[in-house]
A and B are shown apart, each in its own frame.
Chain A
């Protein structure tokens, strides 16, 4: 019980940040499933969504700002795909990936230019920024809202993919790009919709993330982006539930590592702190390499061998 008490605040932080990673990770995993592209710019779309909120909320009330930001983010995702990825459809995969890195570089530099490189304060969204107490640990409402909302959105998405026409088209394209285009599926539309869904989730994710950690800088999307990608690989790329579970695992591990020195000294395992919090970010990549080496298809990945 003492262990639970000590662990609870870390778990809460982990679940919260994990849910936000999950919303980004779904975008990665869907795009990768269809295009076989690591969309490096996805983390930066997430950052731009945060930045847009900062600027839009200066002149619009929140009930206008929130839908508007979601719309703009979706538009951004759509435009990026049309401009930077569509012309390279027949090019080698490496070229597309380099294009993605280029887009990421462009978005970060644009944000740097617009903000003048300064930290911008995210507006407070009422209710979800309220403080609540859970089993003695205090936290923001958003911590509790995030996993619920994530779960709801993912269930909706899975329904969409399994039970609608466009969902069927997505699955077909993910399985076989060439054949599905021969069968009359409009590949470009399917890909655009994938990007739209991904950006939509990133926009929601950014609202939750920045409500919790209200500072937006041009590079703020890079690390969550990479971690979300790792989460997608961890869960099995192409699998949406996999990405979500992977994201929660990464979020929780990361926070436990930050508190590991304290936990270990409290329980007398070590006498001197080891400075383990240095590895909070790096641990994500250790997980990645372990999973790639031992189970390259991830926890829930399909058994397709040509991927890795």
Chain B
């Protein structure tokens, strides 16, 4: 009985502590937000509208997430204000790191919601977006998926929209291209439990024919890919399809070169990154093709200005992976920022509910093409993917062509 009493007192104390935490947090909550990072403190007296940036800055997808943020930051530096209902508002980016991990994603999302943002952008990586979708949905918070291509992202809740193409499309494009390359048997490698790679492999297999595919998965924390490369060779495959994170990709490329894989490596949008170029450069026995959202050189004016901006600050340069190669995800991040601004303008309010209502009506001509939503659709109408080849000699991506699906 005493223990029960003890327990109750303990719970009481827990609540007392909660109350303490509560009161101690209040005064700090005025102008400073202790919870999340902010781009820059706006001048006092300004009207401020907050846009949440829900991206991985660490973990498997940290490198990609940072590049996507760069695009948003660049756009923010060009257009730091927005007019809402006739009043000038300063746009403030509020960051939350979802750590590329599905279980951390929910609290990161929660954090953005409690920061009072009007709309959320992100994320790189589909799994975290699927996990956070419910939280955004419950709070009625509009979210704009930037490069999360798994179809589930927009299916979980009513508030998640997306501006890139989706995996059934990308998988089909890749499968068609594999056939174009003359491939008949594909080795498909996905990361266990990763929505993005498992999903994309699944749609690729659907399009390429299950009987022509060997499917395998590797576990989280794997560094040794040698046996997977051996498996692909032993099965006599002619395509190695591995749409995994860049972290795993670098190791796979290294292993493929070592063991002289001898087949074309095919991957999705994640591989369109300077990490891959760095890993593959000088390894003349690897052939890598990827599908992606944007090709550097597609808009020379934009490219030049963006590169200048990256080179102007060592932090930006570091976040972009040490050089000024433009990642497609950065460009989509840039477009996503403007889509958000369009929605806010159309809504004429900073209220998330109003932004949510205005979002489907947005029609924006972005760097990556036109972004608009068909009636009732939450995925932007996208029907073109770029195919690129990794030039291991010069260390750049060569554009092979654009491809759509009939």
Chains A, B in direct contact (C-beta < 8 Å): yes
Interface positions of A (Cβ within 8 A of B): 6, 9-10, 12-13, 16-17, 112, 116-119, 121, 131, 137-140, 209, 212-215, 217, 219-220, 222-223, 255, 258-259, 261-263, 265-266, 273, 275, 277-278, 280-281
Tell me, in angstroms, the Cα distance from A86 to B233 when the chains sit together.
51
B192 nearest CB neighbor, chain A only: A278
Q: Is the CB of B251 within 8 A of A138?
A: no
Q: Is the CB of B58 within 8 A of A116?
A: yes
Q: Given A112-B58, A116-B57, A139-B258, A275–B217 Cβ distance below 8 Å?
A: yes
Report A-chain residues with C-beta under 8 Å of the C-beta of B226.
9, 12-13, 16, 139, 255
Q: Is the CB of B224 within 8 A of A13?
A: yes
With A9-B233, A117-B57, A263-B234 known, 16 other A-B pairs at CB within 8 A are A17-B224, A116-B58, A118-B62, A119-B246, A119-B247, A119-B250, A121-B250, A139-B259, A209-B223, A213-B254, A215-B250, A220-B221, A255-B226, A262-B231, A277-B216, A280-B219
Tell me, in angstroms, the Cα distance from A158 to B235 when the chains sit together.
43
Q: Is the CB of B234 within 8 A of A262?
A: yes
Report B-chain residues with C-beta under 8 Å of the C-beta of A222.
221
Interface centre among B99, B215, B219, B233 (most CB of A within 10 A): B219
- Chosen A-B contacts, 17 in total, with CB atoms closer than 8 Å, are A6-B234, A9-B259, A13-B226, A13-B227, A117-B59, A131-B258, A138-B258, A139-B258, A214-B254, A219-B221, A220-B223, A223-B221, A259-B230, A262-B231, A262-B234, A263-B234, A281-B219
Report A-chain residues with C-beta under 8 Å of the C-beta of B278.
121
B338 within 8 A of A: no
Tell me, in angstroms, the Cα distance from A181 to B132 when the chains sit together.
58
Other-chain contact of A118, B63, B214, B227 (Cβ < 8 Å): B63
A116 nearest CB neighbor, chain B only: B58
Report B-chain residues with C-beta under 8 Å of the C-beta of A259.
227, 230-231, 234
Q: Is the CB of A117 within 8 A of B99?
A: yes
Tell me, in angstroms, the Cα distance from A213 to B254 when the chains sit together.
8
A282 nearest CB neighbor, chain B only: B219
**What sequence of 0s and 1s flags, for each residue 278-302 of chain B, a beta carbon within 8 Å of any chain A beta carbon?**
1100000000000000000000000
B260 within 8 A of A: yes
B228 within 8 A of A: yes
Q: Is the CB of A117 within 8 A of B224?
A: no
Q: Is the CB of A261 within 8 A of B62?
A: no
Q: Is the CB of A277 within 8 A of B247?
A: no
Tell me, in angstroms, the Cα distance from A280 to B222 when the chains sit together.
10
Report B-chain residues with C-beta under 8 Å of the C-beta of A215.
223, 247, 250-251
Report A-chain residues with C-beta under 8 Å of the C-beta of B203.
none
Q: Is the CB of A13 within 8 A of B219?
A: no
Instruction: Say how far A50's CB is from chain B's closest CB, in angstroms.
Output: 10
Q: Which 3 A-B pairs have the closest CB atoms?
A: A117-B58, A258-B227, A213-B223
Compute the total of residue contacts between A and B using a CB distance below 8 Å. Answer: 105
Instruction: Say how far B377's CB is from chain A's closest CB, in angstroms.
Output: 35
Instruction: Say how far B111's CB is from chain A's closest CB, in angstroms.
Output: 17
Report B-chain residues with C-beta under 8 Å of the C-beta of A219.
221
Tell me, in angstroms, the Cα distance from A79 to B258 when the chains sit together.
38
Tell me, in angstroms, the Cα distance from A278 to B191 when the chains sit together.
10
B218 within 8 A of A: yes
**What sequence of 0s and 1s flags, for each residue 202-246 of chain B, a beta carbon within 8 Å of any chain A beta carbon?**
000000000000111111010111111011011100000000001
Report B-chain residues with C-beta under 8 Å of the C-beta of A220.
221, 223
Q: Is the CB of B234 within 8 A of A213?
A: no
Q: Is the CB of A118 within 8 A of B58?
A: yes
Q: Is the CB of A262 within 8 A of B235?
A: yes
Report B-chain residues with C-beta under 8 Å of the C-beta of A131.
257-258, 260
Report A-chain residues with C-beta under 8 Å of the C-beta of B233.
9
**What sequence of 0s and 1s flags, for each residue 83-104 of chain B, a beta carbon within 8 Å of any chain A beta carbon?**
0000000000000000100000
Tell me, in angstroms, the Cα distance from A139 to B259 when the chains sit together.
6
Q: Is the CB of B258 within 8 A of A277?
A: no
Q: Is the CB of A277 within 8 A of B62?
A: no
B231 nearest CB neighbor, chain A only: A262
A142 nearest CB neighbor, chain B only: B258
Report B-chain residues with C-beta under 8 Å of the C-beta of A255.
224, 226-227
Tell me, in angstroms, the Cα distance from A209 to B226 when the chains sit together.
13
Q: Is the CB of A213 within 8 A of B224?
A: yes
Report B-chain residues with C-beta under 8 Å of the C-beta of A262.
214, 230-231, 234-235
B247 nearest CB neighbor, chain A only: A119
Instruction: Say how far B231's CB is from chain A's closest CB, in angstroms.
Output: 4
Instruction: Say how far B315's CB is from chain A's closest CB, in angstroms.
Output: 11
Instruction: Say how far B65's CB is from chain A's closest CB, in angstroms.
Output: 10
Report A-chain residues with C-beta under 8 Å of the C-beta of B247.
119, 215, 217
Report B-chain residues with C-beta under 8 Å of the C-beta of A273.
214-216
A279 nearest CB neighbor, chain B only: B219
Instruction: Say how far A282's CB is from chain B's closest CB, in angstroms.
Output: 9
Instruction: Say how far A129's CB is from chain B's closest CB, in angstroms.
Output: 9
Interface centre among B99, B221, B224, B259 (most CB of A within 10 A): B224
Other-chain contact of A117, B62, B216, B218 (Cβ < 8 Å): B62
Tell me, in angstroms, the Cα distance from A131 to B218 when the chains sit together.
24
Tell me, in angstroms, the Cα distance from A9 to B62 when the chains sit together.
33
Q: Is the CB of B215 within 8 A of A140?
A: no
Q: Is the CB of B227 within 8 A of A261?
A: no
Instruction: Say how far A165's CB is from chain B's closest CB, in angstroms.
Output: 40
Instruction: Say how far A191's CB is from chain B's closest CB, in angstroms.
Output: 31
Tell me, in angstroms, the Cα distance from A277 to B259 when the chains sit together.
20
B58 nearest CB neighbor, chain A only: A117
Tell me, in angstroms, the Cα distance from A265 to B70 when the chains sit together.
47
Report A-chain residues with C-beta under 8 Å of the C-beta of B221.
219-220, 222-223, 281
Report A-chain residues with C-beta under 8 Å of the C-beta of B246.
119
Report A-chain residues with C-beta under 8 Å of the C-beta of B231.
258-259, 261-262
In the complex, chain B residues 252-285 whose Cβ is within 8 Å of any chain A Cβ = 254-255, 257-260, 275, 278-279
Tell me, in angstroms, the Cα distance from A222 to B59 when the chains sit together.
15
Report B-chain residues with C-beta under 8 Å of the C-beta of A16.
226
Tell me, in angstroms, the Cα distance from A147 to B219 when the chains sit together.
26
Tell me, in angstroms, the Cα distance from A273 to B243 when the chains sit together.
21
Tell me, in angstroms, the Cα distance from A273 to B231 when the chains sit together.
12
Tell me, in angstroms, the Cα distance from A275 to B218 when the chains sit together.
10
Tell me, in angstroms, the Cα distance from A209 to B223 when the chains sit together.
9
Report B-chain residues with C-beta under 8 Å of the C-beta of A213.
223-225, 251, 254-255
Tell me, in angstroms, the Cα distance from A220 to B100 when the chains sit together.
16
**What sequence of 0s and 1s flags, for each residue 310-321 of chain B, a beta carbon within 8 Å of any chain A beta carbon?**
000000000000
